[in-house]
Structure 1
C-alpha cells in the first residue's frame, strides 16, 4: 500500500534550527524540499550561508576511528556531551600530531639513509675499503655506469690498450656499474675513452666505511632499525586510540549526525526583517509521523508546524513510500523497476507478489527443487537482506505446492501421486480443436482471468484520477472489460459444450462496447459538456478508428495467447527432468546419482532463471501495461538512517 503523505511547513527562531533537527526531525522521516524555490510567495526569503562547525572535528573523528580494529564490535560511550566530544577530539589530535611529528622525523632520516644506500648498492661486488679508496693520492678513480653493449666493446677491444683498470660492479638489464682506476698522468686520455663509451659518473661521497658490501649492509640495518621505530610509533598511536575507542566511536556517530543535521540549512530559508529572524523548513512526511510530530511539539513554543492541504500550491506531486507486509515487501523491487506508483494510483505490490509466485510455481512445479529454492532464498534473504532472494523463497513455496499438484520430486514422478495431474501426459478434447494438453487450456483460461482483473484495476485507477475517457471508453476501461469479458464467457461456454447466447444478444454484447471505444472522444466531450469538432475530418476519423479497433482486437488475442507459455514451461520442465533421469539411467535400474544431482542443479539454475524472466515479462507486458503507469517519484527522507531514542 502507498503511505499517505502530507506537506508540512516548519518554522521557528533561526538559532533554534539545530535543536529542532536534533530533538524532533532526526527521529522522523521527512523528504525536505527547497524552501527558497517552494515558498516563492513569501517575502524576504534568504538562504543560509553558515559554515558547518562540526565538519573539521568529524574529519578527525573518522580518521581516529579508522585506526581501530573492528570498531563495529565496540559499544559506544554515549555519556559524552558535545563539549566533551570536542575536548576529546582536540586532546587526541594533539597527542597524535606529536607522535606523527616524531614519526616524520624518522621517516625523513630513513629516506636520507635510503638515498645513500641506493648510491652504493650497484657497487657491492667490488672489494676494497671505501674509506681508503676514496682518499687515494696517487691513483685517480671514477665510479659510474655504462650501457651493456658499450661495456662489451670495452672488454673486447679497448681494455688491453688502456693504462687503466676497470673493476666491475652490478650488471642489470641495461647497465654495467663499476669504477676505473688510472694514474693521474693518464687520466685525461682514459676519461676521453670512457666518455666515448657513454660512461656516466656517479659521485660517491667520502662518508662510507668498509667495502661497498659492508657499507650497503650497514645502511640497510639502519633503515631496518628506523622502520621498527616507525612501527612502534604506529602501535603507540593505535594503543592510544584503543583506550578511547568507546568515546571515539560515539564522537564519530554524534558528529556525523550533527553535521548532517546542520546541513539541513541547504534546504531551509531565512526570513529576516527588523522585528524577527526565523527559519522555514518544508517537506513531505507520512501522515502518521505528522500526527506524532505535531503532538510532540505541541507544547514547544519555539516550533510552529503548518500542514498544507492545497496540492496545487506546492512543489510537484507527493513522493511515494510503499509499506507492505513482510512477505510481499521483496516484490517492491519489481514495482520499482517498472516505476513507482503515483500518489493517486494503486500499489500493485500485492498483486505482483501473488500472481508472480503463483505463475512461477505452475511453470516450475517440483517439490524437491521448490524446497531448495525456499531454503536457499530464505537463508540469503535472512543474512543479506536481498529482495531477489526473498522473491525466490516465496516463489519456491508455490513451486513446492505445484510439485505436489503435479506429483514431481526432483523429477521423479513415481514417488508421490499427483493431487491434480501430470502436465506432460494429461490431455483434454475440445470442439473443433481436438486433443490439447490440459495445462495449456487452463493457462489460457487463467490468463483471461488475469487480463480481466487488470482491466478492473485500470478502471479503479482511472476513476481515482477522474479520467472519464479511460474509465468508460478505453480498451481497458468499462467498454473494453464488457467486450473482452463477453468474448471470454462465450468461448468458455462453447468449449465446455454449453449453449451460447442468441445472435442478437452476442451482437449487442460485442458491438456496443466496440462502438463506445470507437467514439470515445466525442462521447467524452459530450459527458464533459465540451464542444469540440473532429479535427481530422469524419472519413479519417473512421479510418483511424477502424485500424485502432483492429489493433486492439489483435492485442487482446496476442495477450491472451501469451499465457500459453505458462503451460508450455510446465510441460518443458517435466520433459527436461525426464531427459535428466534418462541420462542418469533410472529406467534401466542403474541410477547414476551424480548425474541426478548435477542434472537437478542445472535445471534448477537454468530453467529457474528463464522462468523468472518469463513471468516478469507477463507481469510487465500483459498486466502492468493495462492498468499501471508507474509515474511516481521515490520518497527520499533527509535522515535515511535515523537515530531512534532508546
Structure 2
C-alpha cells in the first residue's frame, strides 16, 4: 500500500534552525526538498549559504573509527553535546597524534638502518674490521659492484701489473660485489681503470665497527628493537581507544548528527521580515507524521508548521510503501519494474499472492517445496534477504500444490492425490478432444488474473479521475465486458452449454469494440471539441482497425501465455521421472539414495530458477502492462542521515 503524503513547510528564526532540526525533524522521516525551487513564487528568498564547520572534526572522528574493530564499534552510546563531543575527539586525536609522531620518528630511524644494512650486507664475507679499513691512510679502498656480464673482462684486466687488489664478496644474478685496494699514490689511475669496466662504487657508512657480518648483525638487532618499540606504541594507541571507546563512539555519533543537521541548510531558504531573518524548510512526510509534527510544534513560538495535502501534476509526492510483513519482501520485484506512482495501485500484495501461486503450480512437489520453504526461511531470518523470503513463500505454495498433485520428491502414490496428476490427468473438450487438465486450469487462472488486472486499472482510472480510460479502452469497462464475454462464450461452448442469442452476442462483442475504436471522437464529443478526429477520419479508422487487431492479438497471446504454467508443471513431473529412473526407483527395487539426492538438488536448482523467471515474466508482461506504469519517485527520507 502507498502511504498518504503531505507537503510540510517549517519556518522560524534563522538562528533557531539547529534546534528545529535536532528537536523536531530528527524524530520523523521527511524527504526535504529545495525550498528555493519549491517556493519559487516568492522573489525575496535567498539560499542559506554557510560552510559546514563540522567537516574537520568529522574527518578526525572517521579516522578514530578506523582504529576500532567491529566488537568495539558495537559498544553502547552515551548522550553528549556537540561541544563535549568535539573536546573528546580533539583530546583523543591529540594524544594519538603524539604517539603517531613517535612511531614516525622510529620508522625514520628504521629506514636509515635498513639503508645501511643494504649497503653493508653484500660484503659480509669480507674478514676485515670496517673501522680499520675505513681508517687506512696510505692504502685506499673502493667498495662496489661489477655487472656479471663484465666479469670475464674484469678478471682478465686484473693482473700482477695492475697496482691494485680486488676481493670479491658476493655473486648474485646481476652483479659481482667486492672491494679493491690500491696505494694512495696510484688510486686515481686505478679508479679510472675500474670505472672503464663499469665498476660502480658503494658508499659504506663509517659509524660501524667489526667485520661487515658483525655490523649487519648489530643493525638487525637495532631494527628488531625499533620494531618492538613501534609495537609498544601501537599497543598504547589501541589501549587508548579501547579505554575511551564509549566516549569516542558517542562523540563520533554526535558529530555525524551535527554534520548532517548542518547540511540541511543546503535545502533551506532565508527570507527577511523587518530586521529578523527567517529560515524555511519544506518537504514530504507521511500525513500521519505531518499531523503529529504540527501538533508538537503548535505551542512553540519560534516554529510555524504548515501542511498542504493538495497535490497536482507539478507537485507529485514521492512514493512510500507500507505493506504487511508477508508481502514486504515482494516490494523488491515491484521496484525492479518501477515504483508505483503516488495515487496508483500498489501491486505488492497482488504480486505476493499471484507469484507464489504461479510458482507453486509450476513447481508442485511436497518434499522439494518444504525444503525450499525451510531454506528460504532460515536464510531470511539470519540475513534478512528479501529474495530468501520470496523463495520461502514460493516453497510453501509448491508444497501445497505437491499435496494436490500427490508428489513427494518425485514419488507419486506415496500420498493420496487430492486433485490431478499434471502428466496423466486428461479431459475431453469439443474440437480439441483429449486435453491435459492442468492446461485448462492454467488458462482459466490466467483469464481470472487478466480480469482482475482490468478491474484494478479501472479503479486506478477512477481514483485519478481519468473517466475516459475507466469507461472506454482495452483495459477499461468496454475491454472488460468484451474479454469477459468472450471467455464466457468459450467456456460455455467447451462445457457443452448453449450459447447466448445473436442480440446478446452483439451487445457483448460488437458494441464494446465499436466504443473502443471510437474512443477519441467520443471523448472530443463529450468535451465539446470542434475537432472530433485527431487527423482525417479515414486515417483514424485505418489506424483504429490495426489497433483493434493488435488488441485482440494481445488478448489471445496474454491468455495463451498462461499455458506455460501447465507446461512447467508437466515438465517438473517428467524431470523427476527421469531422476527416479536413473536412481532405479521405478522398478520396485532399492533406489540409489545418492542419485535421488543429487537429482532432487539438480531439479530444484535448475527448474526452480527457470520457474522463478517464468513467474516473474507472467507478472511483468501479461499482468503489469494492463494496469501499472511504475513511474513513481522513491521516498528518500533525509532524517535517516540525522536521526539519533
TM-score, length-scaled by structure 1: 0.96
The Cα of 1:535 is off from its aligned counterpart by 4.5
Q: Is the 8 A contact 1:65 1:71 kept in 2?
A: no
Q: Superposition RMSD on alpha carbons, in Å?
A: 1.8
- Alignment partner, residue 170 of structure 1: 170
SS at match of 1:599: helix
Does 2:25 match 1:19? no
SS at match of 1:32: strand
Does 2:18 match 1:34? no
CA distance in 2, matches of 1:533, 1:244: 79
Q: Is the 8 A contact 1:167 1:180 kept in 2?
A: yes
The Cα of 1:217 is off from its aligned counterpart by 1.9
The Cα of 1:127 is off from its aligned counterpart by 2.6
The Cα of 1:317 is off from its aligned counterpart by 0.8
Q: 1:530 to 1:468 in 2, by over 3 A?
A: farther
Q: 1:11 to 1:192 in 2, by over 3 A?
A: same
* Greater CA drift, 66-75 or 26-35: 66-75
CA distance in 2, matches of 1:97, 1:464: 63
SS at match of 1:585: coil
* Greater CA drift, 269-278 or 318-327: 269-278
CA distances 1:90-111 after superposition (whole Å, capped 9, x unpaired): 3222322222222222222222
The Cα of 1:641 is off from its aligned counterpart by 5.8
The Cα of 1:137 is off from its aligned counterpart by 2.9
Does 2:70 match 1:72? no
- Alignment partner, residue 569 of structure 1: 568
CA distance in 1, matches of 2:153, 2:426: 94
CA distance in 1, matches of 2:283, 2:567: 50
The Cα of 1:27 is off from its aligned counterpart by 1.0
- Alignment partner, residue 613 of structure 1: 613
- Alignment partner, residue 107 of structure 1: 107
Q: Is the 8 A contact 2:81 2:254 kept in 1?
A: no
CA distances 1:339-360 after superposition (whole Å, capped 9, x unpaired): 1111121111111110000000
Q: 1:572 to 1:152 in 2, by over 3 A?
A: farther
Counterpart mapping for 1:159-198 below 5 A: 159-160=158-159, 162-198=162-198
Counterpart mapping for 1:7-406 below 5 A: 7-69=7-69, 70-78=71-79, 80-155=80-155, 157-160=156-159, 162-312=162-312, 316-406=315-405
What is the number of equivalent residue pairs in this alignment? Answer: 641
SS at match of 1:640: helix
CA distance in 1, matches of 2:170, 2:273: 81
The Cα of 1:600 is off from its aligned counterpart by 0.8
CA distance in 2, matches of 1:581, 1:170: 72
Q: 1:43 to 1:546 in 2, by over 3 A?
A: closer
The Cα of 1:244 is off from its aligned counterpart by 1.2
* Greater CA drift, 99-108 or 166-175: 166-175
CA distance in 1, matches of 2:66, 2:543: 69
Q: 1:337 to 1:463 in 2, by over 3 A?
A: same
SS at match of 1:429: strand
CA distance in 2, matches of 1:386, 1:554: 39
Q: 1:402 to 1:214 in 2, by over 3 A?
A: same
The Cα of 1:590 is off from its aligned counterpart by 3.0
Counterpart mapping for 1:623-642 below 5 A: 623-640=623-640
Q: Is the 8 A contact 2:146 2:175 kept in 1?
A: yes
CA distance in 2, matches of 1:400, 1:387: 20
CA distances 1:178-225 after superposition (whole Å, capped 9, x unpaired): 222233455444333322322211122322211112112211211111
CA distances 1:426-447 after superposition (whole Å, capped 9, x unpaired): 1111110011111011101111
CA distance in 2, matches of 1:516, 1:31: 44
* Greater CA drift, 297-306 or 112-121: 112-121
- Alignment partner, residue 422 of structure 1: 421
* Greater CA drift, 558-567 or 167-176: 167-176
The Cα of 1:419 is off from its aligned counterpart by 1.2
CA distances 1:9-68 after superposition (whole Å, capped 9, x unpaired): 101111111111111110100000001111112242122222323332232233223323
Q: Which runs of 4+ in 1 moved over 6 A?
A: none
Q: Is the 8 A contact 1:65 1:245 kept in 2?
A: no
The Cα of 1:533 is off from its aligned counterpart by 4.1
SS at match of 1:11: strand
The Cα of 1:89 is off from its aligned counterpart by 2.1
SS at match of 1:435: strand
* Greater CA drift, 547-556 or 40-49: 40-49
Does 2:4 match 1:4? yes
Q: Is the 8 A contact 1:518 1:549 kept in 2?
A: yes
Q: 1:350 to 1:42 in 2, by over 3 A?
A: same
Counterpart mapping for 1:481-492 below 5 A: 481-492=480-491
Q: 1:414 to 1:189 in 2, by over 3 A?
A: farther
CA distance in 2, matches of 1:549, 1:360: 33
Q: Please list every run of 5 or more consecutive structure 1 residues that lacks an aligned counterpart in the other structure.
A: none
Q: Please list every run of 5 or more consecutive structure 2 residues that lacks an aligned counterpart in the other structure.
A: none
CA distance in 1, matches of 2:231, 2:308: 61
CA distance in 2, matches of 1:600, 1:171: 65
The Cα of 1:377 is off from its aligned counterpart by 1.0
TM-score, length-scaled by structure 2: 0.96
Q: Is the 8 A contact 1:48 1:269 kept in 2?
A: yes
CA distance in 2, matches of 1:152, 1:488: 100
* Greater CA drift, 513-522 or 80-89: 80-89
SS at match of 1:610: helix
CA distance in 2, matches of 1:72, 1:408: 51
